[in-house]
């Protein structure tokens, strides 16, 4: 019996090269950096497909003999948790070489961890012991993991996603210095640092007084151009027995403001629909997505001050605002004094709710912006 056709529009994870839209320039740059001994810092706003790009890079490097280890640091709260996550990924990657068990056990002992097997997945799981969680052990344990990686494989790429999370650790500047030291001491391991807070990542790697100053090649991620999305979407819709025209794809892309996740989400829903694609269905799905996200949007709204809410509504209706403190904008939406708007803007920007791009300020999340525009 033939299996069900996979929905080709992935909204989480990485489905493989056929389901990955473009990013050929970025992929080539990442691979060139690895092949030529350059470490990379990559940043771009959330929902642009950075994690999928990293997996795509790893998928491309595998046949070239590289061992790529992906670690998402977003959920970590301390340097010790970061080391635990990296060590666990290293242990799982080492399963590709069954003769490494003695080295695995040595590395686990060096960082004071315990090894167990997950009964559901059958995958090895590491847990740091109480003594190993001391702040002063962070650098020693990270260097131990790095020595293990450098020893098990001639070409290792360590991919650290959401790297700006280390700035939240209660260790001051120590985590930055610790990772920089590891990068210097093990030049045979290539590092790729990725983050979704552009100003935090940029300051970390461009500030003269910070450990990572000018230590990596920089790659900034922007939305995938519409002209690359049109043939990708048309092709997969056709294979699924769906007809969609370029104008409809442009409508989706414009509504999603080019954010990869939302372009993929609408196309995923269209592909799954039993109805034929028309403009009415597309608009219905737009409304459906906003309604489903409404509880989250209301939660954000409830946390804001009255001035911040007013600014959010005004910016959502404009979509992009070159200068939120300009007289014409303030007067159009009765926002009051420029100084109070500037304070509200600074707070929202600091929380990455509002972001700045080359064309101006905008609400970062598309659905949040669309929800505010309806208020």
Q: Which residue has the tokens 């990657």?
A: 93
Q: Could you read off the pLDDT of 69-78 as tens digits, one per residue?
A: 999 999 999 9
pLDDT of residue 137: 63
Instruction: Give which of 152, 217, 137, 219 is closest to 183, Cα–Cα.
Output: 217
As a whole number of angstroms, the distance between CA 265 and CA 353 comes to: 21
Q: In whole angstroms, give the CA distance from residue 145 to residue 104.
A: 10
Helix (H, G, I), strand (E, B) or coil at 361: strand
pLDDT of residue 144: 85
- For the chain, the first-to-last Cα distance in angstroms comes to 50
Left, alpha or beta for 123 (phi > 0: left; psi -120 to 50: alpha)?
beta
Q: What is the pLDDT of residue 1?
A: 37
pTM of the predicted protein model: 0.89
Distance CA 30, CA 37 (A): 11
Q: Return the exposure string of 297-323: e unless at least 16 CB atoms fall within 10 Å of the residue's CB, then b.
A: beebbeebeebbbbbbbbbbebeebee
Q: CA-CA distance, 123 to 116, in Å (whole number)?
A: 9
pLDDT computed for residue 88 by the predictor: 86
Q: Could you tell me which of 274, 273, 224, 266 has the C-alpha nearest to residue 249?
A: 266
CB atoms within 10 A of CB 287: 11
> How many C-beta atoms surround the C-beta of residue 202 within 10 A?
16
Q: Is 171 exposed, middle or buried (0-12, 13-18, 19+ CB in 10 A)?
A: middle
User: Token digits for 160?
Assistant: 């650290």
Residue appearing with tokens 């990455």 = 352
| C-alpha distances out from residue 99 to 77, 92, 125, 145, Å | 33, 13, 19, 18
Q: Which of 366, 231, 203, 209 is nearest to 286 (CA)?
A: 366
> What is the C-alpha R_g of the chain?
23
- Per-residue tokens: 20: 């990955």
- Look at residues 351, 353, 348, 350 and name the one whose alpha carbon lies nearest to residue 365: 353
Q: Residue 132 has what pLDDT?
A: 46
Tens-level pLDDT at each residue, the chain (375 residues): 344 578 999 999 899 999 999 999 999 999 999 999 999 999 988 899 999 999 999 999 999 999 999 999 999 999 888 998 998 888 887 776 666 777 777 777 777 777 766 666 667 676 666 454 555 567 788 888 898 888 888 899 999 999 999 999 987 788 999 999 999 999 999 999 999 988 889 899 999 999 999 999 999 999 999 999 999 999 999 999 999 999 999 999 999 999 999 999 999 999 999 999 999 999 999 999 999 999 999 999 999 999 999 999 999 999 999 999 999 999 999 999 999 999 999 999 988 899 998 889 999 999 999 999 999
Separate counts of helices (H) and strands (E) for the chain: 15, 9
Strand partners, 360: 357
Please report the pLDDT score of residue 317 as a whole number: 97
């Amino acid at each position: 019996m033939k299996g069900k056709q996979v929905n080709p529009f992935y909204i989480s994870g990485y489905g493989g090269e056929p389901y990955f839209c473009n990013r050929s320039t970025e992929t080539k740059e990442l691979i060139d950096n690895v092949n030529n001994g350059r470490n990379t810092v990559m940043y771009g706003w959330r929902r642009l497909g950075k994690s999928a790009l990293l997996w795509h890079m790893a998928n491309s490097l595998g046949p070239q003999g590289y061992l790529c280890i992906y670690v998402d640091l977003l959920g970590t709260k301390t340097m010790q948790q970061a080391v635990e996550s990296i060590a666990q990924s290293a242990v799982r990657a080492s399963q590709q070489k069954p003769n490494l068990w003695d080295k695995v056990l040595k590395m686990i002992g060096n960082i004071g961890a315990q090894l167990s097997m997950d009964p559901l997945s059958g995958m090895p799981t590491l847990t740091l012991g109480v003594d190993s969680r001391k702040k002063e052990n962070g650098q020693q344990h990270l260097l131990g993991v790095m020595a293990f990686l450098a020893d098990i494989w001639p070409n290792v790429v360590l991919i650290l996603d959401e790297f700006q999370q280390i700035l939240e650790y209660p260790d001051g500047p120590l985590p930055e210095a610790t990772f920089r030291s590891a990068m210097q001491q093990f030049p045979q391991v290539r590092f790729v640092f990725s983050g979704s807070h552009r100003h935090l990542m940029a300051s970390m790697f461009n500030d003269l007084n910070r450990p990572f100053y000018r230590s990596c090649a920089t790659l900034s991620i922007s939305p995938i151009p519409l002209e690359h999305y049109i043939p990708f979407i048309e092709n997969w819709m056709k294979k699924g027995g769906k007809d969609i025209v370029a104008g409809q794809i442009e409508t989706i892309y414009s509504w999603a403001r080019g954010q990869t996740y939302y372009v993929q989400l609408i196309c995923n829903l269209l592909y799954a629909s039993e109805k034929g694609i028309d403009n009415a269905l597309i608009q219905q799905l737009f409304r459906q997505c906003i309604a489903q996200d409404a509880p989250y949007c209301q939660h954000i709204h409830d946390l804001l001050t009255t001035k911040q809410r007013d600014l959010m509504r005004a910016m959502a209706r404009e979509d992009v605002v070159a200068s939120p403190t300009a007289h014409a904008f303030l007067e159009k939406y009765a926002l009051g004094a420029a100084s109070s708007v500037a304070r509200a803007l600074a707070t929202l920007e600091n929380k990455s709710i509002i972001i700045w791009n080359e064309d101006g300020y905008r609400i970062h999340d598309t659905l949040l912006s669309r929800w505010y525009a309806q208020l």
